[in-house]
Amino acid sequence: YLVQIMPRRGVVVTPVDVGLQFQVLETRGEVDRLIARSAAQRATAAEREAIAALAKAIEETVAHSDVRAFLRLDAQRSRCVAYSARNSVAAGIATTLHSVSRRFWFCHLHEDRQLIDTARLHLTVAKAVVLGDAEAAGKASDELIDYMLAFPKATLPAASNPEP
């Protein structure tokens, strides 16, 4: 998704593709909900503390509008939540999907408001996991994906819509 290997010719960075982003988010909706709910049920006390610490650090990066730090810390938070879910298959799928989403988001981010809104929704998932509330974690994950689906739509010219 991020690079294309061309035998005997090299490696090419693939273009950012809004149609692919819709497919990624459709899949992420299901996988992320599973991970969030499972992590809320299965995370250990130490994992919950680690997720809470990452959430606090993310809040600080957003307060300083530090997009790169947000992306780095949010990737750590995602991995920690996925590990806590105790489902290595879902975690592996999520890692790939999140990389594609993160790249799209970073390329199209134009306003601090987008960073604030995205971070708030990611943190709502994290906080539900920390509290052990599987239902709230699943709902928060769905709300995050709904918001993220609106983001690529806003990048399209008014007449086009590659959404499935």
- Closest-CA residue to 128 (of 63, 77, 94): 77
pLDDT band at 58 (very low <50, low <70, confident <90, very high): very high
pLDDT band at 94 (very low <50, low <70, confident <90, very high): very high
User: What three-state secondary structure class fits 159?
Assistant: coil
Q: Which residue has the higher pLDDT, 10 or 150?
A: 150
pLDDT score recorded for residue 140: 98
pTM for the full predicted model: 0.85
**Averaging pLDDT over each range in 14-18, 81-85, 148-152, 153-157, which range is the top one?**
81-85
Q: Which residue has the higher pLDDT, 164 or 25?
A: 25
- The DSSP symbol for 1 reads -
pLDDT band at 159 (very low <50, low <70, confident <90, very high): very low
- Contacts of residue 55, defined as CB under 8 A and 6 or more positions apart, other chains included, come to 77, 123, 126, 127, 130
Average pLDDT, the chain: 90
